[in-house]
Structure 1
């Protein structure tokens, strides 16, 4: 399997496991800046050099060696499951992507036909019932994760623990897991623990939200999208995420973590 989703600075100062919809664009740009003293011009996901990525064949040997030796500080970042699945809906389902097309081609027509999901028309700018459509999308997300029907689960709404586990299962060890909701605090702890060719001043780093503007604006607070049934579905899908990463299942309006992350428990639960 190797180490899918792993990024590493060319200086090997730090290793990061990408988790979609969890500040990955900003983290990637910080890593790039820490090596080169400048930001990547464009979406960091498109960078073909300047940053080791497992998806680049030439990066696989140095990443493998480093992980197996635990040669670098390794971390990842998580997000409240309620906010993350909602963000995935507005970005990937309702939004028009950077290439000017819908995400994954026929995915939205399938959702419209099989689940009755509306997305605001061809350009994503029309009015529609966001709450009703999101709850129908949630049924679809549950079906993909629970039964892998009508398709395999997408990386943007599959469980964070699943992404994070691939690193652990193949011998990797996390030194820290940070929360998106306390990003500066967590990222500062990471930067304090490593040495980089260029100093990073977090207060000067912009937020690289590459999905912003793809879809319609969220019209309601997070908690409005989740009734008892949808909360049950979220718990069915993300129970391990709530448990391991300290988030509050009982209150969708509370984005902040309510418990600490026990790294020993994370490694024990996600090994194998």
Structure 2
């Protein structure tokens, strides 16, 4: 299976397991900058050079050799499951993608037909966000639990699944960064590696490639989650809350409530 979703600097200073919707655009640009002293011109997900990626065939043996010998510092980044699934909804379901079209072609029409969601239209995107989001949660649960009407999308499949593939295939994490305390966690990563170019996190812009292409969230996070919604969230992401120490009982608290135990993560996701 190898190491899907894994990126590594060309200098092999650091290995990063991408978790979608968890600051991956910003992290990718930081890694690129640390080697080249400049940012990639465009969406870092589109970069075909300047960064080793598992999706690039030529990079696979280089990444494999490094991860198997654990030569480089390895990390990933996670996010509160409540805000992550909300971000996925507004970006991938309601938003217009970089190519000017809806995400995955017929996905949104399918959701409108089968689940009764609304997504609104530019420029105002007027619709009942809470009602539509809760219906989207039913769809997300169906994909994760029963893999119908399609396989779960990487943007709302559980973070544990993404993080775990790296461990199962022989990788070992040195650090798991929380998106919510990004600068602090990313600084610890940078403090543990040798970069070709110094990185000043305070001067790094946030690269949010999905921003501005859809509706803005109109309500506080907690307003989107009633008892049934929280039940669905627990069903989908219970392991994520436990391993990455987020507060399931309070959707309005995006901050972690404990320290991540890397030994526990490796033990539970390494099966």
Secondary structure of 2:223's aligned partner:
helix
Listed as ranges, the gaps of 5+ residues in structure 1 are none
Instruction: Look up the SS of the partner of 1:231 in the other structure.
Output: helix
**Superposition pairs of residues 115-264 of structure 1, within 5 angstroms:** 115-121=115-121, 123=122, 125-264=124-263
Deviations 1:14-47 (A, max 9, x none): 0000000000000000000000000000000000
Q: Deviations over 1:165-190 (max 9, x none)?
A: 00000000000001000000000000
Corresponding residue of 2:92: 92
Contact 1:188–1:202, Cα closer than 8 Å, also in 2: yes
2:176 & 2:57 partners in 1: Cα distance? 26
SS of the aligned residue for 1:218 comes to coil
Once the 2 structures are TM-superposed, how far is the Cα of residue 124 of structure 1 from its aligned partner? 6.6
Distance in 1 between residues matched to 2:58 and 2:213, nearest whole Å:
32
Aligned length: 271
Residue 27 (str. 1) matches residue 23 (str. 2): no
**8 Å Cα contact 1:94-1:124 kept in structure 2:** no
| RMSD, aligned CA | 0.7
| DSSP 3-state at the match of 2:2 | coil
Shift of 1:13: 0.4
- TM-score, normalising length from structure 1? 0.99
* In structure 2, C-alpha distance between the alignment counterparts of 1:116 and 1:252, rounded to whole Å: 24
Q: After superposition, what is the alpha-carbon deviation per residue over 1:129-169, rounded to whole angstroms, capped at 9, x for unaligned? A: 00000000000000000000000000000000000000000
**C-alpha displacement at 1:126, in angstroms?**
2.9
1:96 touches 1:124 (CA, 8 Å); kept in 2?
A: no
- CA separation in 1, counterparts of 2:114 and 2:234? 23
Deviation of 1:236 (Å): 0.6
TM-score by length of 2: 0.99
In 1, are the aligned partners of 2:125 and 2:214 still within 8 Å (CA)?
Answer: no
Unpaired segments ≥5 residues, structure 2: none
Which secondary structure state, in structure 2, belongs to the residue aligned with residue 97 of structure 1?
A: coil
